[in-house]
Amino acid sequence: MNENIETPVEHIVLTVEQAAKRLNIGRTLMYELVTTGVVESVHIGRLRRVPLQALTNYVNKLMASTPNPEAA
């Protein structure tokens, strides 16, 4: 068994670019969402990072504001 194989690490904060990839949206739109505060972000030193929970919160808000077509 090869013990040198590293398991993938799940980061709790992402770069804006990584967050955009996670949401399958463009980098420019992700920066807009972060800059306007629609998606929460944090500063770590001089770096801006997006917590994974902020992406989950954003998607949950979108789901709550989207009408359910089956309910009509």
Percentage, residues of the chain above pLDDT 70: 90
User: What domain range includes position 32?
Assistant: 13-65
> Which pLDDT belongs to residue 1?
55
Percentage, residues of the chain above pLDDT 90: 75
> Which pLDDT belongs to residue 25?
98
Q: Are 54 and 40 in contact (CB under 8 A)?
A: yes
Task: Please count the structural domains in the chain.
Answer: 1
Asked if the structure places residue 32 within a domain, the reply is: yes
Output the pTM of the full model.
0.79
Asked if the structure places residue 20 within a domain, the reply is: yes
Asked if the structure places residue 54 within a domain, the reply is: yes
**Structure-token pair, residue 32:** 């807009």
pLDDT tens digits, residue range 43-67?
999 999 999 999 999 999 999 998 8
3-class DSSP string for the chain = CCCCCCCCCCCCEECHHHHHHHHCCCHHHHHHHHHCCCCCCEEECCEEEEEHHHHHHHHHHHHHHCCCHHHC
